[in-house]
């Protein structure tokens, strides 16, 4: 298809106004929805949409992608992308982008605030004061300095938390299934059990891939030290909430902070249900780890720019599912955006077709990633529909766009 740069944009889950302004400034038609959509609702609204923006609640399934005939790219205005069927997206030639760094500081600051609040028993003191009880006592209240913090998942958030926690005087231990370099004086644990045996506070920062479902359950809670504190600011499916409640009620775990849940309301103001409600030593927050004004503004600007640049220039820098390719703006002429199966000889075939039609190549860049290859080719302004049809008909073709 020939793409003139104009598009319909559908933004879900109350994405920051900066993203809306970014698209509207370029003449895109933007529809902004404050809540998440379920599969059927999204299918009913995806027709004619070129760019889709979501956060963590909306699931972009293979059925949604099959119905999205005009969709060029999906933007996850958050860190995680497990809510998107990336295999189906790649097969359909749809690029997926996220914001891997924009809200890490916000999540880390919330984790630190909750660690301090729970270690000082601020939730219980606050509840007592509101009930008219003056409980001025130090029992069970501690400094975080010298406490052992166990970080499960040492990615962008885990590493930044590690550095800041150490600056507060905490002793940091971490466990990650991948081989990660420790920062500062953090100590790597070879197993999760090794971390649980030493940590006074355990905080989870893993992604939501299916293999992590139920990753932390009754066995792990029982393994934690008596009187320890637990936090989950990653994905709701990662932990067993019923098991957490039992260990909180028994007193084995002294306190917990949970920001994510297996089932979350679709929109602001909807009723929230959880077995953790009503416990005095639990901080419950409505999935706001990355929800600061600063983070959401950064995410809105970052992801909208990636989507718009992909549509108008074809650049895939920081795409999570396609090879990373970027060429400078092409000026006059056209840019061929060619996603294809990663098989030998594709570049030669494309250039042979161009040569057959006497089309001069003014710039070209190819990269591959797994089973896909991605080729950008800048050509002069003269070309025929026959050339485009011939390229589209190559057996390796997944998707071909022509940017004017």
By annotation, the residues acting in catalysis are 235, 264, 287
pTM of the model: 0.83
Tens digit of pLDDT for each residue in 209-267?
Answer: 888 889 999 999 999 999 999 999 999 999 999 999 999 999 999 999 999 999 998 87
Same domain for 244 and 163, yes or no, is yes
- Region 286-293: mean pLDDT is 93
Show which of 237, 263, 284 is a domain's final residue.
284
Helices marked H in 47-150 — which ranges? Answer: 62-67, 86-91, 104-119, 122-130
Helices 17-24 and 293-313 pack at an angle, to 10 degrees, of: 30
Same domain for 374 and 394, yes or no, is yes
Confidence grade of residue 1 (pLDDT, cut at 50, 70, 90) = very low
Same domain for 387 and 310, yes or no, is no
Same domain for 148 and 174, yes or no, is yes
How many independent structural domains does the chain possess?
3
Same domain for 163 and 267, yes or no, is yes
Parent domain of 35: 1-103+293-321
Exposed / middle / buried, residue 35 (Cβ in 10 Å: 0-12, 13-18, 19+): middle
Same domain for 151 and 262, yes or no, is yes
CA 323 → CA 317, 387, 393, distances in Å? Answer: 8, 24, 22
Show which of 258, 284, 310 is a domain's final residue.
284
Same domain for 334 and 245, yes or no, is no
Same domain for 381 and 267, yes or no, is no
Same domain for 239 and 297, yes or no, is no
Tens digit of pLDDT for each residue in 134-168?
Answer: 999 999 999 999 999 999 999 999 999 999 999 99
CATH at 189: 3.40.50.720
Same domain for 310 and 300, yes or no, is yes
Same domain for 111 and 260, yes or no, is yes
CA 286 → CA 214, 280, 298, 322, distances in Å? Answer: 20, 17, 20, 32
CATH at 346: 3.30.70.260
Same domain for 37 and 12, yes or no, is yes
Confidence grade of residue 101 (pLDDT, cut at 50, 70, 90) = confident
């Amino acid at each position: 298809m020939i793409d003139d740069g104009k598009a319909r944009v559908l933004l879900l889950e109350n994405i920051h106004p900066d993203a809306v302004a970014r698209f509207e400034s370029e003449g895109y038609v933007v529809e902004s929805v404050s809540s998440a959509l379920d599969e059927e609702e999204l299918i009913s609204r995806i027709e004619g949409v070129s760019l889709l923006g979501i956060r963590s609640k909306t699931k972009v399934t293979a059925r949604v992608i099959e119905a999205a005939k005009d969709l060029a790219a999906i933007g996850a205005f958050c860190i995680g992308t497990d809510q998107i069927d990336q295999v189906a997206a790649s097969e359909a030639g749809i690029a997926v982008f996220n914001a891997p760094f924009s809200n890490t500081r916000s999540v880390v600051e919330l984790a630190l605030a909750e660690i301090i609040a729970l270690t000082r028993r601020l939730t219980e003191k606050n509840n007592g004061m509101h009930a008219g009880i003056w409980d001025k006592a130090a029992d069970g209240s501690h400094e975080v300095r010298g406490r052992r913090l166990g970080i499960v998942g040492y990615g962008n958030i885990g590493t930044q938390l590690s550095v800041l926690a150490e600056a507060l005087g905490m002793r940091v231990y971490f466990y990650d299934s991948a081989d990660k370099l420790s920062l500062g004086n953090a100590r790597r644990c070879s197993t999760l059990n090794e971390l649980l045996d030493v940590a006074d506070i355990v905080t989870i920062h893993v992604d939501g891939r299916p293999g992590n479902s139920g990753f932390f359950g009754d066995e792990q809670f029982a393994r934690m030290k008596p009187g320890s504190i637990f936090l989950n600011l990653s994905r709701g499916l990662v932990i067993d909430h019923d098991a957490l409640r039992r260990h909180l009620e028994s007193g084995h775990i002294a306190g917990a902070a949970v920001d994510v849940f297996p089932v979350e309301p679709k929109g602001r103001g909807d009723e929230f249900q959880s077995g953790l409600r009503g416990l005095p030593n639990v901080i419950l927050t409505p999935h706001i780890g990355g929800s600061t004004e600063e983070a959401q503004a950064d995410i809105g600007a970052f992801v909208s720019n990636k989507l718009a640049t992909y549509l108008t220039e074809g650049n895939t820098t920081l795409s999570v599912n396609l090879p990373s390719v970027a060429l400078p703006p092409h000026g006059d002429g056209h840019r061929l955006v060619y996603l294809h199966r990663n098989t030998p000889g594709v570049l030669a075939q494309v250039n042979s077709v161009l040569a057959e039609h006497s089309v001069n190549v003014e710039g070209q860049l190819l990269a591959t990633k797994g089973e896909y290859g991605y080729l950008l080719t800048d050509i002069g302004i003269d070309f025929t529909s026959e050339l485009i049809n011939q390229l589209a008909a190559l057996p390796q073709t997944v998707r071909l766009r022509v940017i004017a």
